[in-house]
Amino acid sequence: MAISKATAPTEIEILAKKILDEEEIKLASRLSTLMKISPSKASSLMRDILPVYHKNLVTHEPRMIYRYLYYVEDYSRGAQLRRLTRFFIHMVCGHLEACLYELAKGKQLPYGPLVYKLLKKGVLSQQLADQLLEFNNVVYIPAKHFVARENLPRKINKRTFAVEDGALAFIMMRKLSMQLFKLLKSGVTTLPEDWKPFKKEWLVWDREDNNDFIIIE
């Protein structure tokens, strides 16, 4: 999967090589396989990875940070994931944007300007800012806007993303979010659920469970 040698790599694959290590790329490969052959197992894997809502828990604050992660998992378990991959990726990116909003103390700016503002203030390192900006350009903008780039098809049925793209975007989001969580926790923000350390068992995940998340209104 993830980074194919048979064909020219996509922009998302090229970016993944810059951000992810070998084990994380393998994890994206395993996740994409499960997304295609067993959405329930893919959902189970993502629930084990995500710092998200637990059953019988109404919500976590900051609300939007965790809300987007709920929808990421929700989109992953549908049988129509291939048709909805663009929306799945949009939710993945929305989580990072929510983290940036929280770091900027609610400044109502788009993703890109938020990154530049936080870089200028010394909140973000140059390396993290560069990765976030490239993620925005390669992943978020094409997922959010149908006509973001002139050389891409304008019809909705032609502007989809491959499942592999979705899996890579999710694992890149995890890595970037972990860094943003550290910055948030170093300030005054309380984060009740954190990202888990990498588990080797994720690379061979092959089980499903019945621990459904609650619906968030």
Q: DSSP class of residue 61?
A: S
Q: For the segment 65-105, what is each residue's pLDDT rounded down to a tens digit? A: 888 888 887 777 666 676 788 888 999 999 999 999 999 98
Per DSSP, 137 falls in state I
The reply to whether 209 falls in a domain is: no
In a domain, 75, yes or no: yes
> Residues 103-141: pLDDT tens digits?
998 778 899 999 999 999 999 999 999 999 999 999 999
Written as six digits, the tokens of 170 are 């999710």
DSSP output for 139-173: IIHHHH-TTSSTTS--SGGGS---HHHHHHHHHHH
- Structural domain including 37 reads 11-188
% of the chain surpassing 90 pLDDT: 52
* Token pair of 39 as six digits: 């959405």
Of the two residues 165 and 213, the one the predictor is more confident about is 165
Mean pLDDT of 156-171: 79
Is the pLDDT confidence value at 204 over 90?
Answer: yes
Looking at residue 99, its pLDDT comes to 95
- How far is 50 from 132, CA to CA, in rounded Å? 20
Confidence (pLDDT) at 149:
46
Q: How far apart are CA 54 and CA 70, in angstroms?
A: 10
Q: Name the pTM for this structure.
A: 0.85
- Count the alpha carbons within 13 Å of 80 in the hemisphere toward its beta carbon: 4
Q: In Å, what is the CA distance from 184 to each residue of 31, 59, 139, 177, 192? A: 28, 18, 23, 10, 12
- Whether 200 is in a domain gets the answer no
Q: Is the pLDDT of residue 154 over 50?
A: no
Average pLDDT over residues 142-148: 67
Q: Is residue 2 part of a domain?
A: no
Residue 217 lies in a domain: no
pLDDT of res. 143: 87
Q: How far is CA 163 from the centre of its chain?
A: 13
Domain count, the chain: 1
In a domain, 197, yes or no: no
210 lies in some domain: no
The answer to whether residue 17 is domain-embedded is yes
Alpha-carbon distance values, 156 to 59, 159, 160, 179, 197 (Å): 33, 5, 7, 33, 37
Q: Is residue 45 pLDDT above 80, yes or no?
A: yes
**Residue where the block lists tokens 């052959």:** 37
